[in-house]
Structures are given as C-alpha cells and as structure tokens.
Amino acid sequence: MAHALIYLDRTQLATVRRRSDLRGLLYVAHAWGVIFAAMALFALWPSVVTYLAAIAAIGSRQLGLSVLMHDGAHGILLKTRWLNRVATQFLCAAPLYFNAWSYRDYHLAHHANTQQDNDPDIGLSAPFPVTKISFARKVFRDIAGLTGVTFRFGQLRAALGGKELPARQRAIRVIDEYWPSVTFNAAFFIVLAAIGQAHLYVVLWLIPLLTWFQLVLRIRNIAEHACTPDKNDPLRNTRTTHAGPIASFFLAPYNVNYHIEHHLMMYVPCYNLRRTHELLMRNGWREKMELCGSYFEVLKVATSKR
C-alpha cells in the first residue's frame, strides 16, 4: 500500500483495487463466447478463410484466458475467494493445460525479482534485441507448432520432478498438476462430440493452442519486458503499450498491455488497469514511464540487432 501511494492517492487506489464477481465472470464469459462463436463460424461456413480467422480468434482468446488465469492466481479476478479459485482453475487455467496454483508460485517470483538475474522470466526478455532473421525463425517455430510442443514437454518434465524421486511420487505430482486439465478437456471433447463436432477439439482447440497462442504469447512477453531501459526502476523495467481495437483483440486482451500498472499495483484487477493508467497520466507520471505507441514499434525495437 505505501509503495502504491507514491503514484495514486488513497481514494484513487481504493477505486482501482475494487474487485467484482460480476465483472470478472463477464470477462470469462466473453472469452468463451468468442471461442464458441469462432468455432460456430467455421462449423457453419467451412473454408480456408473461416478456418484461419477462427484459429486467430481462438488463439487470441486462449491468451485471454491465460490473462484471466493470471489475475485469478493473484486472487483478484473475482471478489469471492472460493469462486475466484474455482473459476480460475477450471474455466481459465485447466482448458489450456495449465495449473493456476503452480503458475502462481512461479509468477510471484517474477514479481519479486523483475528483470533481475533471478527473475524466472528473464530468459523471455534477455535475448532481445535480436535480428529480424532470428525473430522470423522464432515466428516460424511458433506457427509450425514446434514451440508449443517443446513447451508442453518441458511443462510435463517439470511436473514429473527429478528422476531421483520415487516413481509413485512422480505419478502423484503429475496427477495433482493435470487432473483439472484432463477433467475439463475430456468434458469439452464429449460436449463437442455430442453435437457432432468432435473434430473441432483438435482443429480449433489444440491446434490454436500449439500455434497462434504461442505466437501472441511471445509478442506479449516481448512487449512487457524486452529492451526496457532500467532493470531497477519499476516505471522502466517493464512497458505499457498502446493497443487499439484490433491489437487489443488479437494481442492484448483484457488490458494486459497495461503492464507497468500491473507491476506497480499487482492487486488491481485487469478490468481496472485502464483506469489505473489514466490516473497515473493525470498524476504526472507519463514522462517517467516506459510507454510505447504500438506493438509494431515494440517489435521494431526488439528486432533492431544487425
């Protein structure tokens, strides 16, 4: 609280900290609404164009679910604690084969050590800037699904733990990590199969998850911390990026582009981050913040190495 009062007064802070079950659930419903609408679009009018559009829309909403999972892991997506836990795990994390509470432990270490050598996310930003050729290779690996497959195998290895652990303990670890994901995805597949659309689980859930989701996740990670100018300044070791309607839909769902605001006050829910940004601007912090006008500008900086 004392740290935040440097940037906002008590009244402003009380406003942006306010959580809402209704608003949080509406955000979750919006994500799933877009996903089902994109699936229906392709199912009703199958073509290359509708398939590619559905891939992009669903992959971007999968990013949206990961953003909502992130808020839920902070305990701020919904006001009611038990409802926040259930919605976060079963409606946001499990569909993506994530475990919200394993993620929470990892993510809080990132907040505690942002851009320092012991930041668990430092590997996502440290390589930048890179050459345009290097970035093109990364994009190809994302779109081809290679990044996604590699990431998922790494995730499974982490869940298993070290080989020195007894086999039974390793099995228990994997069950604890994945039972919500297996439960949700099995139910999801059964529902699609019941309406004669079982194939959509593969072509419009798993494929976007392994391809487009990985690409937009990479771009989001680059925008948040890559090539920031001062690793010790909380206003300049992360970045807030302006996002218009198209960028917000495909690259920055649910105000995730307001990343300085999140790091300054990580108890502010995503639906209040835009307001937090406006208040910081009003309070005179604009010139001290690492702001960028667009995701294109961020990628231009991130690929400036020759």
Read off the amino acid at residue 112. A
CA–CA separation, 52 and 204 (whole Å): 10
Judge whether residue 69 has pLDDT over 80. yes
CB 78 within 8 A of CB 84: yes
Task: Extract the tokens encoding 238.
Answer: 């992360």
Provide the 3-class DSSP secondary structure of residue 295. helix
pTM (predicted TM-score) = 0.95
Read off the amino acid at residue 303. T
CA–CA separation, 43 and 123 (whole Å): 39
Alpha carbon of 107 to those of 84, 112, 255: distances in Å?
17, 9, 18
Task: Give the sign of the dihedral formed by CA 107, CA 171, CA 205, CA 80.
Answer: negative
CA–CA separation, 14 and 97 (whole Å): 34
pLDDT mean over 249-265: 96
Judge whether residue 183 has pLDDT over 60. yes
Provide the 3-class DSSP secondary structure of residue 258. strand
Q: Per-residue confidence at 155, pLDDT binned at 50, 70, 90?
A: very high
Cis link prior to 129 (omega < 30° from 0)? yes
Q: How wide is the angle at C-alpha 259 spanned by C-alphas 128 and 112, nearest 5°?
A: 80
Q: Per-residue confidence at 146, pLDDT binned at 50, 70, 90?
A: very high
Q: For 86-144, how does the pLDDT look when each residue is reduced to its tens digit (9 = 90+)?
A: 999 999 999 999 999 999 988 989 998 999 999 999 998 999 999 999 999 999 999 99
Q: What is the pLDDT of residue 209?
A: 98
Q: How far apart are the first and last CA of the chain?
A: 44
Judge whether residue 259 has pLDDT over 60. yes
